A and B are shown apart, each in its own frame.
Chain A
Amino acid sequence: MNNALLELRSISKAFQGVVALREVSFDLRPGELHALLGENGAGKSTLIKIITGAHAPDSGEIWVDGQWVKGLDPRKAHRLGVAAIYQQPALFPDLSVAENFALALEPPSPFRRVRWALRREQASQLLRRVGARIDPDTFVSELSMPEQQLVEIAKALGAGARVLIMDEPTASLTREEVGTLLGLIRVLKAEGVGIIYISHRLPEIFEVADRITVLRDGASVGTFAAGDLDESELIRRMVGRALTSEYPPALSEPGEIRLEARGLGCARWGVPEVSFQVRSGEIVGLSGLVGAGRTELARVLFGITPADSGQILVEGREVRIQSPRDAVDAGICYLPEDRRRHGVVLEMSLASNISLAVHRKLFPRGWIRDGAERELACKLIGDLAVKCSNGEALAGDLSGGNQQKVAMARWLAAGPRVLLLDEPTQGVDVGAKGEIHRLIRSLTNQGMAVLMISSDLPELLGLSDRILVMRGGCLVSEFGRGEATSDGVMAAALGKGGVEL
């Protein structure tokens, strides 16, 4: 394997005595897209951090271009042409695109003048190379998420990256945007760039990957040519078992109307006027492109940005929602999209996280009672099968899927009448995803009303009893269970004639 761009040989790494990687070997050839798959906690991030030099392996060798590289650190990795692009772009939002490039690409030397004309020229050249029509003088904060991603890629290419690591690059993109990105990836491959690609979205991996390496519990299950595997085979290798029926069915017909919005609007946040109903025992899917106003609608319903017109009715009674506390009191709970910032408090224990929204119910006199809190946490941790040592573990130490379960547990403790779920399985591994789907369905089977925002079309189509589509802040279509197809929903989200964003 002399032509390998990058080769890892028997890499092992342990953190505080816990093995994260065990004798993992991996190689990347020029012009290849090598997908790295595994459940959360399988060791993907650790492997990436070793390649970028953020962590030193305990044992094993790293070879770049047939040379054994000893003591790889981030600067050395950068010099060797390794660049990583993460889910959240790491750009300076208050600087222009050209300035961001200048910071990353100017050789660091004090008191040297930045040649702006040259930088701007180089920036527009790089942006053209990745097919982005962006003015280099635009501030990064004004760019959309996919545009920022393109800027990141251009920046990496400008720095001479030959090994490009992409960690969940499509997590916050719509289907059209994903298509554009995959197109760019093909171009980069043709130019000889090696790409390490991490994603939970299997269809897209089959579309672009040449080879796939599967990690499980810190060890490599094997490296396969993408053509040799199909989706179910791949899932089986990732989770070590076959997953049963993907989407659990509804057991009963929807009941009475739980949540009703009448002409609900919040002009300042781009929700002009929305009316809809959610019934008991029903999962209503909310589809739309990023920026169509889905999250904004949920934030209005939950009182983060209170409505300035219209009515919200819970079980037929009008409720006034000016703050999240009002919403919780009215029985509306919201599982936010940004789990780490909004969903859980990372530095607090699971028990504290779970009890946070039910303080008044659990501790009516205002005094914390550790026993009651522990009991509640134990029960919910058991019910939701959260993988953790005990309720005293910190939320930040859990994997994404388990954090999401803790965020759910908090709201189950509150006993809501209506659950708003915003991308409930984003960044969650395949195993936990199925568990969360089953949990949502079993809640509605017990009579819960669920409004679920999701950009994951298979999930939306598989789980929802009814699908509402938003565009430009308005509800534009509704599909019953039988009527919804991915093409139909996408066409509605894009508008007639498939106008692009």
Chain B
Amino acid sequence: MHDRSGWRRWLGIELVLTLLLCMELGIFSRTATNFWTAQNFFEVLRLSVEIGLLAVAMTPVILTGGIDLSVGSLLGLCAICFGKLWRDAGLPPLVAGIATIGLGVGLGSLNGVLVTRLRLPPLIVTLGSFSLFRGFAEAITKGVDNFTNFPASFLFLGQGYLFGVIPAQLPVFMLVALAVWLLVHRTVIGRGLRAMGYSPEGALYAGLPVSSRLMWVYGLAGGVSALSALVYVAHVGQAKADAGTGYELLAITAVVLGGTSIFGGKGSVHGTLLGLAVLVVMKNGLILSDQPGELVGIVTGVLLLTVLSGELLMKFLSRKSEVRRRERLLKTR
């Protein structure tokens, strides 16, 4: 996308994050007990799937210059609806799960409708549905009901292991991440999303179907939130109305940390994955190093600010080397 050649292409947020990740691994392998084990590695992955799904689906939304604050609440609502469909309507988990995902797509698209038809800012629309979805979840359960005793075949999705070591939800996450990566980076839809993020009117004047593409991304975010709800329920073994509280902010943090511009246009899905990795490894490492839980929030804040200023430094270095290259060219002529 950008006019950067050779190694300069790699001077960017991805390199900053990779270095940071290596640093975390280096530090925690000394300070934390049981950090550097295959078991812990997969445990970290298992813990990051729910947030990871939300972050991956949030990336295209933010690329369009929008935001979706409702994904955490939608996770809660979908968890409750899944429980309701399975326990009270007596549907088998598979059917209930598919229906739940359909519901997620529908409610996500509702965000999309409000954004495109009423031309309200996504921040306002999803701030509204953030309260609305959580409110529905609480209304359905009257604030007390919760759903447990799911069959083992369903719980396997969140607690089981494939080949004895790989958490069962990991392939699900990888599939979704790959699909969204392809969508964002290799298809005309992704290209259109970027154009809309950089210049909403420019995209419209180029004849892109701006409204339907927006419906798409908000619908996708809703569907993936529902999937994340299923993984969550299977993981913790119960569905309560407060499931996923605050997840939307963690997901947005991972996306922004991964170098996606909050103004839209610039960003990548692999950046989001790296951002997510830096966050979850830090959290896990701090806990295993017997550090107080409050430290997680502080370090997250510091990380976000350093990484974003680190990116500026990289840009500066890249520009300097570009200048030197041009000067050398001038001399040889």
Q: Assess whether B63 is interfacial by the CB under 8 Å rule.
A: no
Q: Assess whether B163 is interfacial by the CB under 8 Å rule.
A: no
Q: Assess whether A352 is interfacial by the CB under 8 Å rule.
A: yes
Q: Assess whether B294 is interfacial by the CB under 8 Å rule.
A: no
- In contact, B323 and A16 (Cβ under 8 angstroms): yes
Q: Assess whether B192 is interfacial by the CB under 8 Å rule.
A: yes
Q: Assess whether B204 is interfacial by the CB under 8 Å rule.
A: yes
Q: Assess whether B203 is interfacial by the CB under 8 Å rule.
A: yes
Q: Assess whether A112 is interfacial by the CB under 8 Å rule.
A: no
Interface size on A, residues (CB 8 A): 37
Q: Assess whether B175 is interfacial by the CB under 8 Å rule.
A: no
User: Looking at the complex, which of A48-56, A86-94, A324-332 is the stretch in contact with chain B?
Assistant: A324-332
Chain A contacts of B203 at CB under 8 A? 345, 356
A304, A327, A352: the one within 8 Å of B1 (CB): A352
- In contact, B188 and A343 (Cβ under 8 angstroms): no
- In contact, A357 and B198 (Cβ under 8 angstroms): no
How far is it, in angstroms, between the C-alpha of A346 and the C-alpha of B188 when the chains are bound? 18
- In contact, A17 and B326 (Cβ under 8 angstroms): yes
- In contact, B186 and A367 (Cβ under 8 angstroms): yes
Residues of B near any A CB (own CB < 8 A): 1-3, 186-192, 194-195, 198-199, 201-209, 265-266, 319, 322-323, 326-327, 330
Chain A contacts of B323 at CB under 8 A? 16-17
Chain A contacts of B188 at CB under 8 A? 359-360, 363, 366-368
- In contact, A325 and B195 (Cβ under 8 angstroms): no
Q: Chain A 451-486 against B: per-residue CB contact (8 Å), 1 yes, 0 no?
A: 000000000000000000000000000000000000
Closest to B204 in A: A324
* Distance in Å: Cβ of B287 to nearest Cβ of chain A: 40
- In contact, B205 and A342 (Cβ under 8 angstroms): yes
- CB-CB contacts below 8 Å: A308-364 with B: 323-325, 327-328, 334, 336, 341-349, 352, 356-357, 359-360, 363
17 more CB-based (< 8 A) A-B contacts, given A17-B327, A342-B201 = A16-B323, A17-B322, A304-B204, A323-B207, A341-B201, A345-B203, A345-B206, A346-B198, A359-B188, A359-B191, A359-B208, A367-B187, A368-B186, A389-B3, A394-B2, A394-B3, A414-B207
B3, B186, B187, B207: the one within 8 Å of A327 (CB): B207
Chain B contacts of A345 at CB under 8 A? 195, 198-199, 202-203, 206
B186, B209, B330: the one within 8 Å of A17 (CB): B330
Closest to A352 in B: B191
- In contact, B189 and A334 (Cβ under 8 angstroms): no
If the complex has contacts A323-B209, A363-B188, are A348 and B204 also in contact, measured as CB distance less than 8 A? no
Closest to B182 in A: A367
If the complex has contacts A349-B3, A352-B1, A368-B191, are A357 and B207 also in contact, measured as CB distance less than 8 A? yes
Chain B contacts of A344 at CB under 8 A? 202
Q: Chain A 1-30 against B: per-residue CB contact (8 Å), 1 yes, 0 no?
A: 000000000000000111000000000000
- In contact, A328 and B319 (Cβ under 8 angstroms): no
How far is it, in angstroms, between the C-alpha of A347 and the C-alpha of B1 when the chains are bound? 9
Chain A contacts of B319 at CB under 8 A? 16
A346, A349, A357, A394: the one within 8 Å of B206 (CB): A357
* Distance in Å: Cβ of B5 to nearest Cβ of chain A: 9
B194, B205, B327: the one within 8 Å of A304 (CB): B205
Closest to B195 in A: A345
- In contact, A392 and B2 (Cβ under 8 angstroms): yes
Chain A contacts of B2 at CB under 8 A? 349, 392, 394
How far is it, in angstroms, between the C-alpha of A356 and the C-alpha of B209 when the chains are bound? 11
Q: Assess whether A267 is interfacial by the CB under 8 Å rule.
A: no
- In contact, B208 and A356 (Cβ under 8 angstroms): yes
Chain B contacts of A304 at CB under 8 A? 204-205
* Distance in Å: Cβ of A26 to nearest Cβ of chain B: 26
If the complex has contacts A16-B322, A327-B207, A349-B1, are A342 and B202 also in contact, measured as CB distance less than 8 A? yes
Q: Assess whether A393 is interfacial by the CB under 8 Å rule.
A: yes
* Distance in Å: Cβ of A423 to nearest Cβ of chain B: 14
Chain A contacts of B265 at CB under 8 A? 347
Chain A contacts of B3 at CB under 8 A? 349, 389, 392-394, 397
If the complex has contacts A16-B323, A347-B198, A368-B187, are A410 and B206 also in contact, measured as CB distance less than 8 A? yes
If the complex has contacts A341-B199, A349-B1, are A356 and B206 also in contact, measured as CB distance less than 8 A? yes
B186, B187, B205, B330: the one within 8 Å of A336 (CB): B205
- CB-CB contacts below 8 Å: A98-120 with B: none
How far is it, in angstroms, between the C-alpha of A341 and the C-alpha of B195 when the chains are bound? 12
* Distance in Å: Cβ of A113 to nearest Cβ of chain B: 35
* Distance in Å: Cβ of A403 to nearest Cβ of chain B: 12
Chain B contacts of A325 at CB under 8 A? 207-209
Q: Is the interface of B mostly helix, strand, loop or mixed?
A: helix
B194, B207, B209: the one within 8 Å of A348 (CB): B194
9 sampled A-B residue pairs with Cβ under 8 A: A304-B204, A324-B206, A344-B202, A345-B203, A345-B206, A347-B199, A348-B198, A389-B3, A394-B3
How far is it, in angstroms, between the C-alpha of A324 and the C-alpha of B212 when the chains are bound? 13
How far is it, in angstroms, between the C-alpha of A394 and the C-alpha of B198 when the chains are bound? 12
Closest to B199 in A: A345
Q: Chain A 394-411 against B: per-residue CB contact (8 Å), 1 yes, 0 no?
A: 100100000000000010
The 8 closest A-B pairs by CB, nearest first: A328-B207, A359-B188, A17-B326, A342-B205, A356-B206, A324-B207, A347-B198, A17-B323
Chain A contacts of B330 at CB under 8 A? 17
Closest to B194 in A: A348
* Distance in Å: Cβ of B196 to nearest Cβ of chain A: 9
- In contact, A346 and B191 (Cβ under 8 angstroms): no
How far is it, in angstroms, between the C-alpha of A142 and the C-alpha of B107 when the chains are bound? 40
How far is it, in angstroms, between the C-alpha of A211 and the C-alpha of B1 when the chains are bound? 45
How far is it, in angstroms, between the C-alpha of A366 and the C-alpha of B330 when the chains are bound? 43
How far is it, in angstroms, between the C-alpha of A327 and the C-alpha of B209 when the chains are bound? 12
Closest to B188 in A: A359
Chain A contacts of B201 at CB under 8 A? 341-342
Chain B contacts of A392 at CB under 8 A? 2-3
Chain A contacts of B186 at CB under 8 A? 367-368
Chain B contacts of A366 at CB under 8 A? 187-189
How far is it, in angstroms, between the C-alpha of A302 and the C-alpha of B205 when the chains are bound? 9
Chain A contacts of B208 at CB under 8 A? 324-325, 356-357, 359
Chain B contacts of A334 at CB under 8 A? 205
Closest to A299 in B: B205
- In contact, B192 and A359 (Cβ under 8 angstroms): yes
Chain A contacts of B202 at CB under 8 A? 341-345
Chain B contacts of A328 at CB under 8 A? 207
If the complex has contacts A17-B326, A349-B3, A367-B186, are A343 and B205 also in contact, measured as CB distance less than 8 A? yes
* Distance in Å: Cβ of B116 to nearest Cβ of chain A: 12
* Distance in Å: Cβ of B262 to nearest Cβ of chain A: 15
- CB-CB contacts below 8 Å: A366-385 with B: 366-368
Chain B contacts of A394 at CB under 8 A? 2-3
* Distance in Å: Cβ of B261 to nearest Cβ of chain A: 10
Closest to A373 in B: B191
Closest to A303 in B: B207
* Distance in Å: Cβ of B251 to nearest Cβ of chain A: 25
Chain A contacts of B327 at CB under 8 A? 17
* Distance in Å: Cβ of B237 to nearest Cβ of chain A: 40
- In contact, A348 and B1 (Cβ under 8 angstroms): yes
Chain A contacts of B326 at CB under 8 A? 16-18
With a 10 A CB-CB cut-off, give which of A302, A345, A392 has the most chain B CB atoms.
A345
* Distance in Å: Cβ of B2 to nearest Cβ of chain A: 7
* Distance in Å: Cβ of A263 to nearest Cβ of chain B: 25
How far is it, in angstroms, between the C-alpha of A304 and the C-alpha of B210 when the chains are bound? 12
Closest to B327 in A: A17
